[in-house]
Amino acid sequence: MSNINLIDSFQEFKDFKNIDRPTVISVLEEVFRSMLRKKYGTDENCDVIVNPDNGDLEIWRTRKVMEDGFSEDDDLEIELAEVKQLDPDMEVGDDYIEQITLESFGRRAILAARQTLVSKVLELEKDEIFKKYKDRVGEIVTGEVYQVWKKETLVLDDEGNELMMPKTEQIPADYFKKGDAVRAVILKVDMVNATPKIIISRIAPEFLQRLFEIEVPEIFDGLITIKKIVREPGERAKVAVESYDDRIDPVGACVGMKGSRIHGIVRELKNENIDVINFTNNISLYITRALSPAKITSIKLDDETKHASVYLKPDQVSLAIGRGGHNIKLAGKLTGYEIDVYREAGEEDEDVDIEEFSDEIDSWIIDELKTIGCDTAKSVLALSVDELVKRTDLEEETIKEVMSILKSEFE
């Protein structure tokens, strides 16, 4: 055997992803040098010549020819009598160069080398995957769902690399099955027990930002900047945008004609309600916009405590708070102010929709009152506790607590 073809001898290396052939060849060379050191004690006098194009590798060993009886190190020197049997033309002082064949290492050493090579290349591959994804944190990745478990979903990218999407990083309405295509943002990349762990997310604000960059060319080109994004995944999101070109309406550009641009994003996020607002340094105006779609009458700000008291007409309070309190919570996160909502003092006989008390009264209690026709505060207060106990399935204690809340509205 005149030379060793590593690619033919070690077929496994054809299947490795992310590792280029020159890198694999250099690993192979190092392993063979290690084998030389084990067999001969040193590899200093050995030349390992690699052809990266076809995978051929030749090993040549050089020893100095010494007079008989004067060789002090058989690994570096060879006596004249011995070398004459191999090459009659050799003389004392010459360099005897011989080619090392694969067979000379022995079957056991070759099997051990194969295991070492597989281990080293797998290690390299993991490092390459880690480096590749570490630099891509915050980018969108598209993959295919491979397996769905209770607490997480395994996604494979187009190279077959494993990406993990924990249940906590999925939109509540997400439902995946094997083979589904899924888009998410790369959240973080860690090395766990020498194996890269790539976590992807569909609830991170960065995911929504990347979707806007894809759908809105002005954001991708830098003409519009997303100043801040806050989300209640699957429920509501608020996006503050600013334009660097006075001719461009940032909100209009993000929404698109008849909502053409934002509709795709909303569908991707399982119908998450997205409010796009104009960023401004005027805090009062910023809070007003953040509480959209509610219309605010007046605002009192305390800049030291970052507190805002917002006054609205009674019919606007429920809009400002939003379903489940999401609207006011996100407005606070977006502006950095703690927002308190107050109903404007109106006329004495002014009534209030019972739904506006959803932040204080459980929704199932409100529904129970509405079934008997009590859909405003005063319509509930007009009945006695006994009457309400008879007509609903509510406990007396619950009714008294509800009436106390409603009464405080008119005090």
Q: How far apart are alpha carbons 227 and 242 in whole angstroms?
A: 7
C-alpha to C-alpha distance for 256 and 216, rounded to whole angstroms:
8
Which of 2.40.170.20, 1.10.10.10, 3.40.50.1100, 2.40.50.140 would CATH assign to domain 142-203?
2.40.50.140
Yes or no: say if 237 and 231 are a contact pair by the CB < 8 Å rule.
yes
Q: 201: which strand partners?
A: 185
Sequential DSSP letters for 150-161: SSEEEEE-TT--
For residue 172, pLDDT over 90 is answered with yes
Residues 112-137 have a mean pLDDT of 84
Residue 201 structure tokens: 């997310």
Buried residues in 370-399 as b, exposed as e (16+ CB within 10 A): eeeebebbebbbebeeeebbeebebeeebb
Question: Which range in 42-46, 78-82, 148-152, 338-342 is most confidently predicted, on average pLDDT?
Answer: 148-152
Residue 260 CB: number of other CB atoms within 10 A?
10
pLDDT at 9: 46
The answer to whether the CB of 186 falls within 8 A of the CB of 198 is yes
Asked whether this chain's domains 3-127 and 280-344 adopt the same fold, the reply is no
DSSP-assigned beta bridge partners for residue 278: 241
Instruction: For residues 411 and 401, give the distance between their C-alpha atoms in angstroms, rounded to a whole number.
Output: 16
Query: Among candidates 339, 340, 341, 373, which has minimal Cα distance to 354?
Result: 373
Q: What is the mean pLDDT of residues 364-376?
A: 83
With bands split at pLDDT 50, 70 and 90, how would you rate the model's confidence at 269? Answer: very high
Look up the CATH number of domain 3-127: 3.30.1480.10
Between CA 388 and CA 392 the distance in angstroms is: 6
* Domain locations in the chain as residue ranges: 3-127, 142-203, 280-344, 354-409
Summarised one tens digit per residue, pLDDT across range 32-42 is: 888 888 888 88
Mean pLDDT of the chain: 85
222 or 10: which leads in pLDDT? 222
Using CA atoms, how far apart are residues 170 and 150, in angstroms rounded to an integer? 12
Q: What is the mean pLDDT of residues 117-126?
A: 80
Whether 15 has a pLDDT exceeding 80, the answer reads no
Give the whole-angstrom CA distance, residue 92 versus residue 124. 46
Q: How confident is the model at residue 324 (pLDDT cuts 50, 70, 90)?
A: confident
pLDDT at 4: 45
Q: Rounded CA gap, 44 and 37, in Å?
A: 9
For the CA atoms of 153, 157, 160, 164, the dihedral, rounded to the nearest 10 degrees, stands at: -30
The Cα-based distances of 200 to 13, 171, 229, 276, 329 in angstroms read: 29, 12, 18, 25, 25
Taking 70 as the threshold, does the pLDDT of residue 376 lie above it? yes
Homologous superfamily (CATH) for 280-344: K homology (KH) domain (3.30.300.20)
Instruction: Evaluate whether 65 touches 96 at the Cβ level (below 8 Å).
Output: yes
